[in-house]
Amino acid sequence: MFSAALYAIRHGRRRDDAANHPRAVGGQTTTADDTQALVRVNTANEIFFMLDSRHTFYDVIERLLYFVNAPGESAFATIEASLAGLGSTAVFEQIYLDPHNCFNGARRIRLTPAHATVVLVALRLAGTRTTLGWLADGNDAAAAPPPR
């Protein structure tokens, strides 16, 4: 299990059974070797609507991990514990759904490549699925995945 997760992080893809995926996103494609390609999302709202307490989103270009959880719950606690084990402090950013900052949306954290490897494996071992992808900008009409 560790080797599959590390392969996914290093190569930007993961092994997964699309039929069992709780929230399939239209941009996901399954290749001949049954691995899923990176997911391209067009807006931050697409990221938010695929999140739940057992599903996170990792932006491979910006190196941002998005999740919805209150402090003390599974993903939040797993990320904090993983980074504490590496001797690092977790700095979470609250994302809001409205311009007045009244309605909490998701949380996110920027991870270094070394931290991302540890955190994503820890989340998977805790039973949390992570979609790997990137937030496309307006000039990204070709929908080509970023270089791996």
Where along the chain do its domains lie?
Answer: 2-11+37-135
34 alpha carbon, distance to own chain's centre = 20
Phi and psi torsions of 7, nearest 5°: -60, -45
pTM comes to: 0.69
Q: Which residue ranges of the chain lie beneath pLDDT 70?
A: 1-37, 70-72, 138-148
Pairing label, strands 39-41, 129-135: parallel
- The single-letter code of the amino acid at 130 is T
Which candidate, 70, 36, 30, places its Cα nearest to that of 52?
70
Which candidate, 35, 31, 33, places its Cα nearest to that of 132?
35
pLDDT in tens, 104-114: 889 999 999 99
pLDDT in tens, 8-20: 555 554 444 333 3
Q: How far apart are CA 93 and CA 74, in angstroms?
A: 17
